[in-house]
Structure 1
Amino acid sequence: MINLTKDAIVAINSENPASLPAGQNPVVQVLQVKKATASQPNAPDRYRMVLSDGVFYMQAMLGTQLNHLPEQEVLVKNSVIRMTNYAVNTVQNRLLVIALQVDILESSHEKIGSPQNYDPAKAQVQPQGQSHQQPQTTDNKPTIAPPQSKGPSSQAPVYPIEGLSPYQNKWTIKARVTQRSDIKFWSNQRGEGKLFSVNLMDETGEIRATGFNESVDEFYSMLEEGKVFFITKARVQIAKKQFSNLQNEYEITFDKSTQIEPCFDTSDVPDVKYNFTELQNLENLEANSITDVLGVVTSVDDASQIISKSTQKPYTKRELQIVDRSQQSVRLTLWGKLAETFDQTNEPVIAFKGVKVGDFGGRSLSMVGASTLFVNPDIAEAHTLRGWYDQQGKNEQFSTFNSSSAAVKPESSGAVNSNEIKTLDQVKQSQLGLNDTGKPDYWSGKATVTYIKKDNLTYPSCPNDMKKVTQDMNDKWRCEKCESSFDAPEYRYIVTCNATDHTGQLWLSGFNDFGLELFKMPANDLQAMMNNGDEAAYEATVKNALGSTYNFNCRAKQDNFNDNVRVRHQINRVNNINYKSDIGRLCDSITKLEVA
């Protein structure tokens, strides 16, 4: 028979512990477990619970790292669990337990006792004459001890990152710095300033922290990547997802009262956590999604500079080629100072965290603001990859995505994949993009542009990351993604057109490379026509693009718009028609028909 820990709910709330020292492992019953409504789009699932000690019950949440327990129906209604790590927060004047580590003692059990909702006033009445301040222990009843893990100065409990929320004021976290940004400067109608950000991690999760102005001077040089710190008296708020790819609903802001001290006992703080995607599986990810990859760097290009046409500022880039055991090779781009200083040319194993997946012309990868890389990391996956590459990988042939073809000029061969060639009617009849897997379908075909939507053909973008920028009150252009301001944006194309062949017509959408080929000029020049009021030249440029015929390589992907399911056909690549190649392909088709 399993006994619940006597007075567990009262002891948890009276001490308000944030972590679980050895021996403090209350056994409680889960009266209810169900999925909570997500507070933000794309936020991880959260599960609510009601915990009981047989006398009282209270609200609780399950740490996201334990979501597999209810999803696999291991943790169900009336399960009996031992909480080996948890935190307690105050939410709207009510206490909420967050279970961080649990042992499932029994998954199927009848309800134990007749517990009542925990009320601090009622809890002062000591049931059965026992003291709540010092719960008694039997062989089957674990002791509830007060929290013992303290920060060095605050004497507040050391909280897990998973347990932080805007409703908890007194906390200290012990976390490792996994990424530190450069110092960035900003200017707007409210003045000027500077900022930096760090990613912090402990055994329960990750969170982003940002410091402004005085905090930059005080903490930037201290918070070195890889080191562990005690951090307290900072502000916890809802995360701005446009600046971070961490799976946390909250973020931290340093202020005047923030205290940060180095921690030299780092044994209980893990190194960087990864969720690696094999390179061959990159095609299963959405474009612009963020992922972690591990690969051997097989080639390193020289650093090069591109000049922004709008600001005339140079931007440094460097391209790498990486491979892994899936025998796939992919191009990865470094930017800025990292591109300038990167000097790893001896085929190192590198773990890339938080890189962006590109899609034009095939899969590619790119370091973005929050990305990090670790050369020859001391992790099992890296050692395994190193051994495989040295023994056999370096002598093998690797598959490549179509990323290399993205650089093919319009005057090149114009060849398409004969296995994917379809007429527009075949594309519709095959219902490409509407498969059950939700993955995109790819097709190739020849068609003529017969109509172009003239509205919003261009958009103002950031020269660094191509994200859309907005204009502030001082006529500066602001990129919220990289937190930079510019005197002028770099315009890029976003084209919606109708293409036609002998079987029908289809709406296609394309981006900057397609626009450059279609209009034979940069988007800045076309936008200048509109800004200068030269509508006649603008109309003539669009009209001249009509009637252009290309070999299209497209991606068909299901899309939801106003609750209606539709297929969006996105242009990955266009090539001018190579008539010699087309004639040869048609002759081959005729020969096959004659044989049949």
Structure 2
Amino acid sequence: MAGAAQITQGALQAIFNGEDVRQPILQCVQIKAMEKREGQPERYRVVFSDIRNFIQSMLATQANHVVIDGKLKKGSFVKLNQFHPNTVKNKKVLIILDLDVLTHLGESEKIGEPTALESLKEEEDVKQPASIQSNNFYGVKPEPEQPRPQQHAPSRTNGASSNSSHANLYPIEALSPYAHTWTIKARCTHKSDIKTWHKNNGEGKLFSVNLLDGSGEIRATGFNDQVDMLYEVFQEGGVYYISSPCQVKLAKKQFSTLNNDYELGFMAGTQVEKAEDDGDAPQIRFNFTSIEDLKTVEKDTTIDVIGVLREVGEVAQIIGSKSSKPYDKRELTIVDNTGYSVRLTIWGSSAKSFDAPAESVIAFKGVKVSDFGGRSLSLLASGSMTVDPDIDDAHKLKGWYDAQGKQDNFQSHAGMAGSSGTGSKRSYKTIAQVKDEGLGTTEETAYYDLKASVVFLRQENLYYPACASEKCNKKATQTEVDRWRCEACNLSFPKPDYRFMLSANVGDHTGNMWLTCFDEVGRTVIGMTAEQFHELQENDSRASVNVVAEATCKTYIFNCRAKLETFGDQQRPRYTVSNIRPLNFTVECAKLTDILKQYTLDSDSLFVR
């Protein structure tokens, strides 16, 4: 068989003896999905054979696609491009970073009678290499492990040390609590501010960095003395050698957005040295979710997103109910070429120092999805944002916005969470059908789409002062000249977050009805934020009246919810708009064409002229 002749016999033993084995060809004899951890990607354990021996292997997450796509199967022949030999609890494990499935060789039953590699020699007789074996990984030719140089204090210089060798590099993907002697070369993609804590048993400070290489990402944290020694060494965008001793421990997912089960803890002897930036470490790794696709993302999921900056809010400050500490925040509105917009909140120093101009393209890494009032985003403390990044996604988005997006109207996900609860498909209704079918007059909540024009807007209470907390939106009350309070959240803040609550009379060819429109919908109807409208009304009341007048006589598609609610002692239907979009004339013409076709009769029926 052609496949059997291609297999690199004896390759596994040679790899774990420290020999330089290039692109060995092996056979896959078993694939098994590991138990999935919540919030983590699938991991796969694969057994490879070189006819003489077999070994347990672990696919790095970036190699999962060969299993997910169905290319790697039991009996397949593969070529290993990048791999790392490791020992876990005295068992040899091969970590696979990159491989090719040789589909032209087909598949076969297990060839030969290979034996487990561990049974050949006692552990102390086998030389355990610590190098990455690859044709071109970090541009360094693999070598057997050499005696490590004497440990020294972390470097506080900006140049790489010339006294230590970094030929034997670990990939971040291979780090585990069982790896004791290692060096990684990684780019610092994010550095946090220095934070302090105060407890009954003492106080301290800490900072963290996100580190990235070609295999993956990991978070590293330094406390107290390590803050003093390393904080100024790390600079965002810089490339560094980090060497053990350094603690590798299970990641605390509440503090990290990275896809790694482990994180690093800097120790007194941890070596950190500036490295040459020769392009082998990636700049940053994104996995973008489009703004339209937010409707399919579960609440509290952490994602990456990229968009064009459409609106920039002012810095506001809220007081934490538990800590009683002030928190600065700023709301941004971003859009993308899916035709959707979303509100994204940034916090702390990022909010205060934010100065990106409107229409900039911004890539956000590590934002949390909220479902209050639809979909909104919040940049986590461990997240980062990059203005006008030099990546293909940003260039395409900028080109689209300059050519078309400036003139587009955008939909939002306002009210989406509530509207998706039925799981049923919406249908178009006329106003007469809504009333005739009694939608909203029973205990069952109804959802429908309505094409109608804005006839009149009730100008009393167009908007209200809301709580500045991201997940509240309850009405705030003014307690002092420059102080507002939300009783629901028990928070005080110097300025409320003004939000629309429109009462709109809309009409179509069958009648009129009143709709309630909240903030996201109100922005589309009025054409500005409630904050902007408030300032306009305060400074020029006549101009604000004109803005309301100009908002009428425009036609939209309203996504509506009809629900029976109690007002005082009476029950009556309430019609609420969860989303709004302008007419798409191509779609509307197609619908009218379908209606006309319904009046075309076949040849056996009466033809109506």
TM-score normalised according to structure 1 size: 0.65
Q: Do the aligned partners of 2:287 and 2:304 also contact (CA within 8 Å) in 1?
A: yes
Q: 1:334 aligns with which of 346, 359, 365?
A: 346
Q: What's the secondary structure of 2:382's corresponding residue?
A: coil
Q: 1:401 aligns with which of 395, 405, 413?
A: 413
Q: Do the aligned partners of 1:552 and 1:575 also contact (CA within 8 Å) in 2?
A: no
What is the rounded CA distance, in whole Å, between the counterparts of 1:219 and 1:442 in structure 2?
58
What is the rounded CA distance, in whole Å, between the counterparts of 2:362 and 2:568 in structure 1?
41
Q: Which has the higher contact order (CA 8 A, sep 6+)?
A: 1
Q: 2:262 aligns with which of 242, 250, 260?
A: 250
Q: What's the secondary structure of 1:400's corresponding residue?
A: coil
Q: Do the aligned partners of 1:154 and 1:172 also contact (CA within 8 Å) in 2?
A: no
Q: Do the aligned partners of 1:199 and 1:206 also contact (CA within 8 Å) in 2?
A: yes
Aligned partner of 2:26 in structure 1 is 28
AA aligned opposite 1:36: M
Q: Do the aligned partners of 1:82 and 1:104 also contact (CA within 8 Å) in 2?
A: yes
Q: 1:37 to 1:369 in 2, by over 3 A?
A: same
Deviations 1:482-518 (A, max 9, x none): xxxxxxxxxxxxxxxxxxxxxxxxxxxxx8557999x
Q: Do the aligned partners of 2:27 and 2:75 also contact (CA within 8 Å) in 1?
A: yes
Q: Map of 1:133-172 to 2, 5 A cutoff? A: 146=143, 153=164, 155=166, 157-172=168-183
Q: 1:584 to 1:187 in 2, by over 3 A?
A: closer
Gaps of 5+ in 2: 130-140, 150-160, 419-429, 450-466, 478-484, 492-515, 519-560, 576-609
AA aligned opposite 1:204: S
AA aligned opposite 1:100: L
Deviations 1:276-314 (A, max 9, x none): 111111121112211111111122122122234665533
Q: 1:197 to 1:112 in 2, by over 3 A?
A: same
Aligned partner of 1:80 in structure 2 is 77
Deviations 1:141-189 (A, max 9, x none): xxx9745999972656211111111111111111111111111111223
Q: Map of 1:127-526 to 2, 5 A cutoff? A: 146=143, 153=164, 155=166, 157-233=168-244, 234-308=246-320, 312-402=324-414, 422=440, 425-427=443-445, 522-523=487-488
What is the rounded CA distance, in whole Å, between the counterparts of 2:366 and 2:326 in structure 1?
25
Aligned partner of 2:14 in structure 1 is 11
Q: Do the aligned partners of 2:565 and 2:574 also contact (CA within 8 Å) in 1?
A: no
Deviations 1:384-416 (A, max 9, x none): 11111111111111123327999xxxxxxxxxx
Identity fraction in percent: 41
CA-CA distance at 1:207 after TM superposition: 0.9
Q: Do the aligned partners of 1:178 and 1:199 also contact (CA within 8 Å) in 2?
A: yes
Aligned partner of 2:101 in structure 1 is 104
Deviations 1:254-277 (A, max 9, x none): 101110111114321112111111
AA aligned opposite 1:157: N
Q: What's the secondary structure of 1:101's corresponding residue?
A: strand
Q: 1:580 to 1:300 in 2, by over 3 A?
A: farther
What is the rounded CA distance, in whole Å, between the counterparts of 1:377 and 1:584 in structure 2?
46
RMSD, aligned CA? 4.2
Q: What's the secondary structure of 1:366's corresponding residue?
A: strand
What is the rounded CA distance, in whole Å, between the counterparts of 1:317 and 1:33 in structure 2?
48
Aligned partner of 1:48 in structure 2 is 45
CA-CA distance at 1:25 after TM superposition: 1.2
AA aligned opposite 1:113: G
Q: 1:578 to 1:27 in 2, by over 3 A?
A: farther
AA aligned opposite 2:179: Q
Q: Does 1:118 align with 2:151?
A: no
Deviations 1:221-240 (A, max 9, x none): 11111111111101111111
Aligned partner of 1:590 in structure 2 is none
AA aligned opposite 2:351: A
Q: Do the aligned partners of 2:373 and 2:415 also contact (CA within 8 Å) in 1?
A: yes
TM-score normalised according to structure 2 size: 0.64
Q: Do the aligned partners of 1:89 and 1:167 also contact (CA within 8 Å) in 2?
A: no
What is the rounded CA distance, in whole Å, between the counterparts of 1:442 and 1:91 in structure 2?
58
What is the rounded CA distance, in whole Å, between the counterparts of 1:109 and 1:147 in structure 2?
34
Q: Do the aligned partners of 1:181 and 1:198 also contact (CA within 8 Å) in 2?
A: yes
AA aligned opposite 2:31: V
